[in-house]
Chains A and B, each alone.
Chain A
């Protein structure tokens, strides 16, 4: 079982004009997302996933310089890549295993978490954001966590895994 660092570092965008900026960049469809829902789209010809975290907060897996795209728009918002955020990626099939071992605070639900949805959770006390969304050709399960805890998270997943889940990628 191997853990590979592959996933691109997402951009976080938030502010009074967070929704305005998201709609300008990505279209009105982003306003159809509820918090902790996501969609796949393209930006400047590059594929990206957009996760809405709050009314005006978004996380975008854009491989290019997102901050440059909003720099001259005179909007009240910040765009940055959080240096303290990391992630690992699991196959979507691992969702039942993660759900069985994680705790989630209501009203979030992890069991049967649909594609394009996310939920904050704790795995053996370790805070994670579970994001179920397409990763490349396949649906995947991205577990975002504090960067300093990615190693612990990997160990934890492997200890839970019992050989039934293959860890595929990680970003630390």
Chain B
């Protein structure tokens, strides 16, 4: 236990007085405790500034050291102007005041450490944080950065709001750990967060509780399909943090959970660091995502077009590392959808990843890694296909644009595509570079899209399907491809991000007479399902082959060799499932993962991958992956709604694209 304590630090590090001058008030213990230090007596310290009161309870007899806050080199740099910061030693808790408009950053210093959080608003701290209210009002198990981001009090008033979160796995269901928990596990007397909270909150007149319902940051819990709540080691890495904005004057309490008897803290409790940032600062809202062990944390970002989109809606959500609109205010996804199908719509697809593949062996690399036959693709042409894994699974889907036999651009979904292509090139000894290229892109789609774009660039009238051209629109360099994700005639425009606002304004202006509308992800999802277009995580992943996903046509089996060819030759003969479209009887809409049954039978033959109500077909449709024996057009099946038992809906197998399966609209 003491070995663990060596790395602990207690106390208030610094505080800002009312004049704003930063001064260190107290610091009791820092790193470098002797290994044999004895923690035997209770030490209660109180410091007071004109603005704030801070209490810490310590148990120690070790000689005190007073280092400067700058010695904490184990933390990410401050995000802004710090007005107070606290180091919570492993197993301890603190209470601290925060004023409205200040920010609270809770940092998991060493990783895998839970920090339970309480907040009290209202007069005399009478309105505590309530996780049940929070879950109910946000519709989320734990608030996330974005629209449903607030933590609410029992009075349903917001206390704090999550502004940034680099872990995105927390708990709101369980109590802060209690004496009862440890007693039941055979550890009577074990320190626990609830008692620690009782102690640090007592000076504020807050009555003790045997267990505090808290928002438990970094606590990695989950509820399985049977309702069981499980927990595992936290996902947080060293320096991961949550940044909260206080919506009112608060008394807060944070812990560094003492649980060392299970994986909740990785069996090894460590410190938590809390920074308070001054009011009046602005921090971008962002969720940190890790997509691979060897790639850095990626924070949600705005695209070049997001500032314009924010003027039109507050309904934005994180998608693949970017903030994208769900739907536009006062417009609605139905209007956006019909604009797309009948006139034209403009959407931000900047979340796609773009990679330049260049070098003498660029063609060889993509010919091997990508499913299409690229020797048939000429400069100025693109091809849709997928990157493959050795076992035939789809690593990603995307489009390869050919500039020359030594220069291609791959546009896909994943940050990891670059490393995958580089790995293949290295293994094969090919001379090729793969670099990410900073281009953001709009898609202008719909039957009138050509007419709109022609007013700016007459040459697009002759741009063929899956062809691209480089041009300038009123001085803005742009790559225009006749591609899309909607099943409509359309174009994608790739630009340097610095020109984003200008291009958005220009397209909206020239498109207005034609009834152009901006389009959000809800309408886009409806359109792509109608068109039978795949979505990562729904129709494919690296365990699903192109033959199961419905893009077997995009695999050039005649190529002499390519990644996964041997496996795909086997899979092609009898894929475990194949992609089909379903037309459901009645208006009810199915959902991803729902079972597909043989008619009148107990056994499943597949499952739904995506579903929507098709306005243009006026029927409920779905994409599904079913066993080949039930994949013939016209086959009757049943979709299990709810639990699959309470209600089944008859459905008929059809083409994967329920709308315009011949693709006549995109080729027009």
> Hey, which bits of chain A sit against chain B, CB under 8 A?
16-17, 19-20, 28, 31-37, 106-109, 112-114, 117
Q: Write the chain B residue with the least CB distance to A56.
A: B587
A109:B338 contact, CB within 8 angstroms: no
Are the C-beta atoms of A33 and B588 separated by less than 8 Å? Answer: no
Would you call A34 and B147 a contact (CB within 8 A)?
no
Beta-carbon contact of B615 and A113 below 8 Å: no
Q: How far apart sit A109 and B315, CA to CA, in the bound complex (Å)? A: 10
Query: A28: which B residues are within 8 A, CB to CB?
Result: 618
Size of B's binding interface in residues, CB under 8 A: 18
Confirm or deny: B332 has a beta carbon within 8 angstroms of a beta carbon on chain A: yes
Return the CB mask of B294-308 against A: 1 if under 8 Å, else 0. 000000000000000
Whether A32 pairs with B327 at a CB distance below 8 angstroms is: no
Given contacts A17-B587, A32-B335, 18 further A-B contacts (CB under 8 A): A28-B618, A32-B334, A32-B615, A33-B332, A33-B334, A34-B327, A34-B333, A34-B335, A37-B330, A37-B334, A106-B147, A107-B313, A107-B329, A109-B329, A109-B330, A113-B330, A114-B330, A117-B330
Contact sample, A vs B, 25 pairs, CB 8 Å cutoff: A16-B588, A19-B587, A28-B618, A31-B334, A31-B615, A32-B335, A32-B338, A32-B615, A33-B332, A34-B327, A34-B331, A34-B333, A34-B334, A36-B332, A37-B332, A37-B335, A106-B315, A107-B147, A107-B313, A107-B314, A107-B315, A107-B326, A107-B329, A113-B330, A117-B330
* Closest Cβ neighbor of B327 among chain A residues: A34
CA distance A33 to B615 in the complex (A): 11
Q: Taking each of B314, B315, B587, B615, which has the highest tally of chain A beta carbons within 10 Å of its own beta carbon?
A: B587
Name, among A19, A106, A112, the residue most crowded by chain B CB atoms within 10 Å (CB to CB).
A106
Q: Would you call the interface of chain B mostly helix, strand, loop, or mixed? A: loop
Query: Which A residues touch B335, using CB under 8 A?
Result: 32, 34, 37
Name the residue of chain B whose CB is nearest to the CB of A28: B618
Contacts of B588 in A (CB 8 A): 16
- A34–B618 CB distance below 8 A: no
Q: Cβ of B327: which chain A residues have Cβ within 8 Å of it?
A: 34
By secondary structure, the A interface counts as loop
Nearest A residue to B333, CB-CB: A34
Residues of A within 8 A of B314 (CB): 106-107, 109
Known: A20-B587, A107-B147. A35 touches B332 (CB 8 A): yes
Nearest chain-B residue to A107 (Cβ)? B315
Digitize B307-343: 1 where CB-to-A-CB distance is under 8 Å, 0 elsewhere.
0000001110000000000110111111100100000
> In whole angstroms, what is the CA distance A114 to B587 when docked?
29
Which chain B residues in 139-183 approach chain A with CB under 8 Å? 147
Query: A109 to chain B: which residues have CB within 8 Å?
Result: 314, 329-330
Point out the residues of chain B lying under 8 angstroms from A108, CB to CB.
Answer: 329
The docked-state distance in angstroms from the alpha carbon of A109 to that of B618 is: 30
Nearest opposing residue in chain A for B315, CB measure = A107
CA distance A28 to B334 in the complex (A): 12
- Shortest distance in angstroms between A56's beta carbon and chain B's nearest beta carbon? 8
Q: B126 to nearest A CB, angstroms?
A: 18
Q: Which residues of B from 515 to 554 have beta carbons under 8 Å from A?
A: none
- Given the complex of chains A and B, what is the CA–CA distance between A85 and B75 in angstroms? 55
Q: In the complex, are the beta carbons of A34 and B329 less than 8 A apart?
A: no
Q: What are the residues of chain A within 8 A of B618 when measuring CB–CB?
A: 28
Contacts of B315 in A (CB 8 A): 106-107
Neighbouring A residues of B147 by C-beta, 8 Å: 106-107
Contacting pair A34 B587 (CB below 8 A): no
**How far does the alpha carbon of A20 sit from the alpha carbon of B586 in the complex, in Å?**
9
Q: Give the shortest distance, in Å, between B347 (CB) and chain A (any CB).
A: 17
A150–B313 Cα distance when bound, in Å, is: 31
Across the A-B interface, the 5 shortest Cβ-Cβ residue pairs: A34-B332, A107-B315, A106-B314, A107-B314, A109-B329
Closest to B647 in A: A16
Task: Give Cα A112 to B312, complex, Å.
Answer: 12
**Bound Cα distance from A109 to B334, whole angstroms:** 18
A63 CB to nearest chain B CB (Å)? 27
Instruction: Tell me, in angstroms, the Cα distance from A37 to B334 when the chains sit together.
Output: 10
Within the complex, the shortest CB–CB distance from B318 to chain A, in Å, comes to 15
B326 to chain A: which residues have CB within 8 Å? 107
In the complex, what residue of chain B is closest to A16 when comparing beta carbons? B588
Q: Chain B contacts of A114 at CB under 8 A?
A: 330
- CB neighbours (8 Å) of B615 from chain A are 31-32
| Minimum CB–CB distance for B50 against chain A, Å | 33
Chain B residues with CB under 8 Å of A106's CB are: 147, 314-315
Query: Residue on B with the closest CB to A115?
Result: B330
CB distance from A53 to the nearest CB of B (A): 13
Q: Which residues of A are found within 8 Å of B331, using beta-carbon distances?
A: 34
A107 vs B147: C-alpha distance when bound (angstroms): 8
Complex: how many Å from CA A85 to CA B315?
28
Contacts of B330 in A (CB 8 A): 37, 109, 112-114, 117
Kindly state the separation between the CA atoms of A67 and B587 in the bound complex, as whole angstroms. Answer: 21
Which A-chain residue is minimally distant from B312 (CB atoms)?
A: A109
Give every chain B residue within 8 A of A20 (Cβ-Cβ). 587
Interface centre among B147, B329, B330, B588 (most CB of A within 10 A): B330
Minimum CB–CB distance from A101 to chain B (whole Å) comes to 19
Which residues does chain A contribute within 8 Å of B332, judged by CB atoms? 33-37
Q: How far is the CB of B527 from chain A (nearest CB, A)?
A: 15
CB distance from B609 to the nearest CB of A (A): 21
Cα A35 to Cα B335 in complex, Å, equals 11
Contact residues, B442-466 vs A (CB, 8 A): none
Residues in B neighbouring A107, C-beta threshold 8 A:
147, 313-315, 326, 329
Chain A residues with CB below 8 A from B587, complex form: 17, 19-20
Q: In the bound complex, what is the Cα–Cα distance between A32 and B340 (angstroms)?
A: 13
Residues of B within 8 A of A34 (CB): 327, 331-335
Query: B614 CB to closest chain A CB, in angstroms?
Result: 11
Interface string of B338-366 (1 = CB under 8 A from A): 10000000000000000000000000000
* Cα A19 to Cα B334 with chains together (Å): 14
- Complex CA gap A109/B328 in Å reads 11
User: How many Å lie between the Cα of A20 and that of B330 in the bound state?
Assistant: 24
Alpha-carbon gap, A19 to B620, bound state (A)? 12
- Bound-complex Cα distance A108 to B326 (A): 13
Separation of A36 and B328 alpha carbons in the complex (Å):
13
Chain B proximity of A3: nearest CB distance (Å): 28
Cα distance, A3 to B476, chains bound together (Å): 57
Give the Cβ gap from B143 to chain A, nearest Cβ, in Å: 14
A136 to B336, CA, bound (A): 29
Closest to B615 in A: A31
Among B611-628, those with CB < 8 Å from A are 615, 618
Chain B residue contacts of A16, Cβ below 8 A? 588
Q: What residues of chain B lie closer than 8 Å to A36, measured between beta carbons? A: 332
Task: Give CA–CA (A22, B588) in the complex, Å.
Answer: 15
Question: A112 contacts which chain B residues (CB < 8 A)?
Answer: 330
Provide the residues of chain A in CB contact with B338, threshold 8 Å: 32
| A2 to B: closest C-beta gap in Å | 31
Q: Tell me, rounded to whole Å, the shortest Cβ–Cβ distance linking A114 to chain B.
A: 5
For B334, the chain A residues whose CB sits under 8 A away are 31-34, 37
Measured between alpha carbons, how far is A34 from B615 in the docked complex, in Å? 12
Q: How far in angstroms is the closest Cβ of chain B from A60?
A: 18
A17, B587: Cα distance in complex, Å: 8
A17 to B326, CA, bound (A): 25
* Assembly CA distance A32 to B334 (angstroms): 5
CA distance A109 to B329 in the complex (A): 7
